[in-house]
């Protein structure tokens, strides 16, 4: 695949500072603060969801992270090493007092549903994110890591990959995409006003893991859809469209990317995805299914009708997002973070589908199944040395 070139200077990283990382965690060079390695106290906003629990897992295994402050609307029952939790609404509650004294804020908070209530989504996603950024500056937190998305990108190619310099105007017909693009623009302004804060933004592809299966089913379909429909061996038809080409990434790999960015002196954006591209042909071959040709208009109409009838929760903008988002190149994450995905896109998708069939989840409000929890064994990683 070809890679769309990045303009000169986009990937230049800030100069490292020679200092003892075990003692000094920040220094000033020409009036700018740079984060250094050392014992850290980290606040994670949106800590109980798909990515949040994976970030907690990655940080718990890092001996240089000593304390984690998890912020979420609802408190979890599950235990996470090193973490203490606070119930917080980022669109309403005071955030700066919770951020004071921490070395970094990782902002993952995002409300996906319901598109039937766009004002509520705007309040949480756009206004809430701006309040998080402002609280970081008020509390003088030296590092801010933000979970953006490939949804922030404008329509792009499906026959080559693009890097982090691709335009970020979103997909006009997708509410999710427009809000992701808006928050990135807000962060641009924040960075210009607060150069003392080291800002990193991640732009992952579709993020899946077994433990998020119940949440994803609930968010995008409906809880009454039979789980048996999602058993991989029972999938016999897949839609065919020339632009049905997408990537995925495992939630654990995204969590690891945040940990690496926390520990390295980098700024700017990082694409995150498996290099494997999923197409109709790849899916049909993997599941032993038959391809069925369809059009974008048909998919949009079917999504719109079923969404308006409350048969499923994905508005038609998600169809446009899937077909119009570009494929992404992750060279910068590999070279500057030392990040490599541990699973292919197909492996990630299979894990999701099997998790939906099994009713997998974790005992946090976003991820817990309604009646039982099928705990994933690979979530229970060895505990880090305290």
Structure tokens of 69?
């402050």
Report yes or no on 140 lying in a domain.
yes
The angle subtended at Cα 177 by Cα 172 and Cα 183, nearest 5°, is: 115
Asked if 6 and 67 count as a contact pair (C-beta separation under 8 A), the reply is no
Report yes or no on 19 lying in a domain.
no
Asked if 121 and 65 count as a contact pair (C-beta separation under 8 A), the reply is no
The enclosing domain of 69 has a CATH number of: 3.40.50.720
Q: Among residues 33, 44, 14, which one has the least CA distance to residue 106?
A: 44
Contacts 24+ apart (CB under 8 A), 192-198: 193/137, 194/136, 194/137, 195/32, 196/31, 196/32, 196/33, 196/142, 197/33, 197/136, 197/137, 197/141, 197/142, 197/143, 197/144, 198/14, 198/33, 198/34, 198/35, 198/142, 198/143, 198/144, 198/265, 198/267
Cα(295)–Cα(318) distance, rounded to whole angstroms? 15
Domain limits for position 276: 26-375
Report yes or no on 16 lying in a domain.
no
* H or E segment to which residue 320 belongs: helix 317-324
Report yes or no on 271 lying in a domain.
yes
| Residue 276 CB-density burial (10 A; 0-12 exposed, 13-18 middle, 19+ buried) | middle
| Residue 371 CB-density burial (10 A; 0-12 exposed, 13-18 middle, 19+ buried) | exposed
Cα(173)–Cα(294) distance, rounded to whole angstroms? 20
Asked if 256 and 58 count as a contact pair (C-beta separation under 8 A), the reply is yes
Structure tokens of 14?
């800030």
Report yes or no on 5 lying in a domain.
no
Taking only the tens of pLDDT, the chain with its 386 residues reads 434 433 333 333 332 223 333 333 443 333 334 444 567 999 999 999 999 999 999 999 999 999 999 999 999 999 999 999 999 999 999 999 999 999 999 999 999 877 678 899 999 999 999 999 999 999 999 999 999 999 999 999 999 999 999 999 999 999 999 999 999 999 999 999 999 999 999 999 999 999 998 888 887 777 777 888 888 889 999 999 999 999 999 999 999 999 999 999 999 999 999 999 999 999 999 999 999 999 999 988 888 888 888 877 778 888 999 999 999 999 999 999 999 999 999 999 999 999 999 989 898 988 888 654 444 434 333 333 22
Report yes or no on 70 lying in a domain.
yes
Report yes or no on 218 lying in a domain.
yes
C-alpha separations of 243 from 126, 293, 367 in Å: 29, 12, 31
| Residue 232 CB-density burial (10 A; 0-12 exposed, 13-18 middle, 19+ buried) | middle
Task: Give pLDDT, residue 115.
Answer: 67
Count of domains in the chain? Answer: 1
Largest pairwise CA distance in the chain: 61
Report yes or no on 384 lying in a domain.
no
> Does residue 302 have a cis peptide bond before it, meaning omega lies within 30 degrees of 0?
no
């Amino acid at each position: 695949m070809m890679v769309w070139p990045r303009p000169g200077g986009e990937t230049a990283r800030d100069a490292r500072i020679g200092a003892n990382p075990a003692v000094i965690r920040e220094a000033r060079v020409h009036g700018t603060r740079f984060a250094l390695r050392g014992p850290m106290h980290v606040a994670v906003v949106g800590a109980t969801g798909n990515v949040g629990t994976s970030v907690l897992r990655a940080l718990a295994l890092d001996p240089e992270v000593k304390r984690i402050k998890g912020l979420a609307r609802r408190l979890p029952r599950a235990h996470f090493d090193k973490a203490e939790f606070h119930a917080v609404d980022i669109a309403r509650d005071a955030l700066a007092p919770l951020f004071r004294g921490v070395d970094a804020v990782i902002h993952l908070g995002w409300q996906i549903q319901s598109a039937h209530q766009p004002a509520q989504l705007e309040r949480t996603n756009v206004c809430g994110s701006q309040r998080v950024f402002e609280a970081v500056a008020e509390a003088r937190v030296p590092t801010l890591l933000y979970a953006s998305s490939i949804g922030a990108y404008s329509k792009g190619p499906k026959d080559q990959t693009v890097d982090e310099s691709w335009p970020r105007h979103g997909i006009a017909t997708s509410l999710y995409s427009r809000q992701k693009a808006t928050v990135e623009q807000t962060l641009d302004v924040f960075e210009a006003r607060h150069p003392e804060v080291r800002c990193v933004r991640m732009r992952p592809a579709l993020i899946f893991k077994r433990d998020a299966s119940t949440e994803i089913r609930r968010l995008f379909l409906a809880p009454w859809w039979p789980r048996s429909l999602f058993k991989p061996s029972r999938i016999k038809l897949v839609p065919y469209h020339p632009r049905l080409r997408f990537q995925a990434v495992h939630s654990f790999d995204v969590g690891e990317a945040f940990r690496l960015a926390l520990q390295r002196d980098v700024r700017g954006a990082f694409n995150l995805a498996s290099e494997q591209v999923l197409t109709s042909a790849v899916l049909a071959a993997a599941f032993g299914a038959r391809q069925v040709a369809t059009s974008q208009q048909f998919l949009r109409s079917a999504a719109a009708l079923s969404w308006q009838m409350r048969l499923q929760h994905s508005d038609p903008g998600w169809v446009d997002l899937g077909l119009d988002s570009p494929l992404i190149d992750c060279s910068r994450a590999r070279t500057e973070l030392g990040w490599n995905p541990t699973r292919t896109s197909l492996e990630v998708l299979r894990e999701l589908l099997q998790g939906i069939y099994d009713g997998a989840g974790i005992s946090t409000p976003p991820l817990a199944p309604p009646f039982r929890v099928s705990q994933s064994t690979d979530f229970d990683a060895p505990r880090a040395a305290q």
